[in-house]
Every structure is written in structure tokens, then in C-alpha cells.
Amino acid sequence: MVKIIEKLLIVTWGKDKPFVKDLKRNSSIMASINDRFRHVARNLSLWTFYETLPVEVGIFSKLIVAKESAILGYDEERIEAMNADHRNSCRFTSKNRFTSKNESNYKLLRNALYTAIDEIKDAFFDIESSSCVLDSKIPQFEGLTLSEASARLSSFLEVANDFDSNLVMCQDLKEPGTCQWFTEKITFKLWVSGNSPMILWLTGRPAAGKSILSSHVIAHLKTSACCSYFFFEHSKANKSTLSDCFRSLAYQMAMQDDLVRDKLLQLEEEAVTWDINNDGLLWAKLFLEGIFVKH
């Protein structure tokens, strides 16, 4: 590619340009950039896809980016060959919109994305639960990854995948530096320390900012403890009933504590059932007979 650019510049301006030489393989500039990125790449999941078919241009055919130019050469880099030329590496067109899903290139990219998402979920759950995870006490669940346990329990508890969407929205709406007054109040500090009644009840008029304030409290608690939460959203499925709240809290507790996770997985294995509309029965089976039971 550099040689082609050099020839085009000579034809156009009659001479080469110095910056083009910096694009050559093993040039000092390229080596410097590559070395600096190497330190950043340690924390990245890198996937490299390279073309294997030449591009047809008139009577000529040529690889635009050869494999040795496409890959970075880092230890954690995952490299995949695409059965496509430079123009069609990520183009999946078909007269029948369903047949593209059966193309090898489509499957290659799809599977890479699935793997990357699973790895991100595992890393997220590891970070979220690192401050309070206990050793698993039930051997048959020790081999489960957090993403596998999450999939099983979200299905078992019928928990919505977007249970945290309200929290994210409130945190985005919150102005920086606001709400600090609440977590600095002596009433709040006594509640956090356990030296006051266990329920802290905040009341206010509609649209007064209770949800924004709650999102601040959640963020504050998450810095030092496990924290489960639920935002009621009336008229919306999976976010409007006490049953929705119980199941969401149980799921979040399981994702932050190995013992809770194992207890709920045990209930799932035993095929425990309940009436999703019976709040009392749900509370008894999930919490009184499950999570709160000491062994």
C-alpha cells in the first residue's frame, strides 16, 4: 500500500513526500506507536480479522492489506481469517435476508461478539462482587462461571435484563456534586452504621427528585458494601409489582454473594415453583426458606 501511495504522489506532484516513509513497516514512527499501544493493549480484548481474497481492479488483483500488515502481534490478540476481500470483509448482502446469517464470515464475527460479550459480563460481575464474595459451599456449583449462573438464575427468577436501566438513567440526569447533603446528614450516617432503625424512609412530592436522590445513595453504598435496589415503574412489565421487586433483589444478591447464589441455584435444581402473583408465597420460598436460612 505504501508503494502504491509513493507512485501516486510521484505521478501527481513529481516527487515523493517524507511522511509516506513513516508508513513503511518497521519505520521508527510505526515502531514507536506500536510500542506505546502495547502498554494499553494489556487491558484490552483484541480481535483481528484479515482478508484472504484479492480485490479485482480491472485486469489486476491484489490483497489490499496482507496478514502481516493487519495483525498487531500482541500476546493476547486473537486472529481470524475472513473468506473475503478488502471491500467485503464486513458486508453481508443477500437477496434473501435470512441466508446471510448462514455465511461463514457472518458466523465468525457473530461468534466473536458473543464471546466478547460473555467475557465482559464475567469481568463486570467479578468487579461488582469482589468486595463481598464468599467461598462457595456447594461443590456442584463451583465450576459455574458468573455469566452461566446469571443466565440460569435470570431465567429461573424471570428477571428483566434491564433491571438497572432506571439507575443508569437517574445517574445520567444527576448534576455533578448534587445530593451530597443527604449522605452527609447524621440521620443517614446512623442508618448506614446500623445505629438507627433499619428502614430509612424518604418521602416527597411527585417529581421532587426522590429517584435521583436514591441513585446517589445506591452509588454511595456500592463504594463500600454490596447493594441491591429496585425502582418501581408502574404500568411497565417486570417493574411494577412487589413480586418483581422480590425477584430482582434476590437475583442481585446472588450476583454479589456466593452463598446466596448457591442457595438459589439449589432451588432451581430442585425445580421449586411458585405463583408469581402470590407475593407472600414468593417471599417465603425465596427468602424465608432460601436466602435467609443458615446452614
Q: Which of 110, 121, 113, 120 is nearest to 154 (CA)?
A: 121
Instruction: Give dist(CA 55, CA 5) in Å, integer.
Output: 17
Question: Across residues 152-164, what is the average pLDDT?
Answer: 86
pLDDT digits (tens, 9 = 90+) for 207-235: 899 999 999 999 999 988 899 999 998 87
Question: Across residues 236-256, what is the average pLDDT?
Answer: 91
Instruction: Give dist(CA 90, CA 64) in Å, integer.
Output: 15
pLDDT band at 107 (very low <50, low <70, confident <90, very high): confident
The pLDDT > 90 percentage for the chain reads 29
Query: What pLDDT shows up at residue 14?
Result: 58
Instruction: Give dist(CA 69, CA 63) in Å, integer.
Output: 11
For the full predicted model, state whether its pTM sits above 0.75.
no
Question: Comparing 31-35, 92-96, 171-175, which segment has the lowest mean pLDDT?
Answer: 92-96
Top-confidence residue, 143 or 133? 143
pLDDT digits (tens, 9 = 90+) for 33-91: 776 666 656 667 788 889 999 888 777 788 888 888 888 777 778 888 988 888 887 77
Question: Across residues 247-275, what is the average pLDDT?
Answer: 91
Q: Where are the alpha helices (DSSP H) in the chain?
A: 2-13, 18-21, 28-41, 67-70, 104-129, 146-157, 165-173, 180-183, 186-193, 210-222, 242-256, 258-269, 279-283
Helices (H) and strands (E) in the chain, counts: 13, 4
Question: Across residues 142-164, what is the average pLDDT?
Answer: 86
Instruction: Give dist(CA 258, CA 136) in Å, integer.
Output: 5
Enumerate the domain spans of the chain: 2-91, 121-291
pLDDT digits (tens, 9 = 90+) for 2-17: 555 555 555 565 555 5
Backbone angles phi, psi at 222, to 5 degrees: -65, -20
pLDDT(254) > 90: yes
Query: What pLDDT shows up at residue 133?
Result: 46
Query: What pLDDT shows up at residue 126?
Result: 58
Query: What pLDDT shows up at residue 98?
Result: 47
Q: Are 125 and 238 in contact (CB under 8 A)?
A: no
pLDDT digits (tens, 9 = 90+) for 112-140: 888 888 887 776 665 555 545 444 455 56
